[in-house]
Structure 1
Amino acid sequence: MRLLLAEDDAILSDALSAQLGAVGFEVEHAPNGAVAEYLLLRHPFDAAVLDIGLPMVDGLSVLRKVRETKPALPVLVLTALDGLEDRVAGLNAGADDYLTKPFDFPELEARLRALLRRVRAAPQAAAVVTAGADGQPLPELGRLVFDRDARRASVDGQPIELSPREWDLLELLLGQRNRVVRKEQITQAWGSERSAGEAPGGAGMIEVYIHRLRRKLEGSGVSIRTVRGLGYLLEPDAAAARG
């Protein structure tokens, strides 16, 4: 598994490169944001660990640029900034996970492997998908078509670009359609070892991903409704239902 490590602390980057290499990763190191952006845009990687406080170009700017062409690349943000606003900014920029310094290497490895487990090859198609590989009709809701086996979702034949966590969230909401999905269920689907109530900023992280998924589902005839105090419900838009 090829990994980009963008970290400007030489001692930390050397240690992480050695530890990640020892557990099976092929690590490419970027000492600043400019190099990280260049490598990520021009070379294939299975995942990236990205520090926010990079010299030359900050990590969030790198992440936003990379997300324009590689929306599905698993990216873990590694930073000393641990405020709620910092976590939300990182997730809004496109991070799939957020780990603050100081940290223990086993947790970093576990989080990376959890991200990689969610990524499977997903062929892109511009045509409307009406049947899966087994010839059976695919689940539809509104104008949203969902192919679980190919890990592909589309609206009116146009693929929706989803990060691994956004995919897991949509899959859970579709699987529980007409039923409220609790935040604890979302955390479990993401493979977290802690409940949303115990992890700092956990509830805020879920809300960020709900907001991002809502934006991507605009115009699909499907919406995510917040059921206050309980969780979230995927349902057809009111306008679509009237039509």
Structure 2
Amino acid sequence: MRILLVEDDELIASGILVGLRAHGIAAAHVLTAADAECMQQEETFDAIVLDLGLPDRDGLQLLDAIRAFEPAVPVLILSARDAIEYRLSGLHGGADDYMTKPFDLRELAARLHALVRRSQGRCVQIIEAGPLRVEPDSGLAWLSGQPVELSRREVDLLVHLANAEARWLPPDSLRERLYGFGEEIHSNALNVHIHNIRRKLGNQAIETSRGLGYRLGWRRSS
């Protein structure tokens, strides 16, 4: 899962980013409404976490712009405005959920997983491609009916490749989706994950094309 965090307090944002990564959620972070609109137009996100007190525009105005551009993306408002009037305005204005600060990062992660599941129209997301079956939320995976132990990064990598269908994904795109923005990673980290997946699932699990990137060796079932 990859989300967009719109939060003008860099200290709060830093804590959220670390906490979400611990729950298998990668996040891009922006400080302003203008940057959020640009990011939404350039990237695809599974959900958006939105603060209301932004420096250049009120968060509810940004919510209108988000909904006009991408009506279906789940939006969770995360704000210090705890009065019932604000919560009702946010929910009536198009937000899917509303949390007040201070908050528990475990609850935030759980709510984001639930929002994304609902947006995908099923209670438990299951990805099936060829002999591979993966449950992204639980991290469980099977190959030809036999359980396979995969790390959270390996599961996320397979999910991104499966969702891309037959499209090739460049290495830089995969790194951003796996680690988010600003996270320090080793230069060969992606290659290590791909090597481990091939070792566990077979060399045919991930295809490589020089200049194009990677794709899953099996097409996702509809």
1:110 Cα deviation (Å)?
Answer: 1.2
**TM-score, normalised to structure 1's length?**
0.48
1:22 Cα deviation (Å)?
Answer: 2.0
Task: Name which of structure 1's ranges 66-75 and 37-46 shifts more when overlaid on structure 2.
Answer: 37-46
Q: Which amino acid aligns with 2:30?
A: A
Separation of aligned partners in 1, 2:42 and 2:91:
23
Distance 1:121 1:88, change over 3 A: closer
Separation of aligned partners in 2, 1:61 and 1:40:
15
Matches within 5 A, 1:168-207: none
Separation of aligned partners in 2, 1:98 and 1:3:
16
Q: Which residue does the alignment assign to 1:111?
A: 111
Q: Which residue does the alignment assign to 1:211?
A: none
Separation of aligned partners in 2, 1:77 and 1:42:
21
Q: Which amino acid aligns with 2:75?
A: V
Q: Which residue does the alignment assign to 2:96?
A: 96
Segments of structure 1 that go 5 or more residues without pairing to the other structure are 123-243
Distance 1:56 1:101, change over 3 A: same
1:58 Cα deviation (Å)?
Answer: 1.8
**TM-score, normalised to structure 2's length?**
0.52
Matches within 5 A, 1:151-170: none
The answer to whether 1:55 aligns with 2:55 is yes
Are the counterparts in 2 of residues 76 and 99 from structure 1 also a CA contact under 8 Å? yes
Q: Which amino acid aligns with 1:2?
A: R
Task: Name which of structure 1's ranges 47-56 and 33-42 shifts more when overlaid on structure 2.
Answer: 33-42
Q: Which amino acid aligns with 1:11?
A: L
Segments of structure 2 that go 5 or more residues without pairing to the other structure are 123-222
Q: Which residue does the alignment assign to 2:71?
A: 71
Separation of aligned partners in 1, 2:113 and 2:2:
12
> 2:69 is paired with a residue of what secondary structure?
coil
Give the paired residue count.
122
* Greater share of residues in helix: 2
Q: Which amino acid aligns with 1:90?
A: G
Q: Which residue does the alignment assign to 1:238?
A: none
The runs of at least 4 aligned residues of structure 1 exceeding 4 Å deviation read none
Identity %: 48
> 2:27 is paired with a residue of what secondary structure?
strand
Separation of aligned partners in 2, 1:13 and 1:39:
16
Matches within 5 A, 1:128-143: none
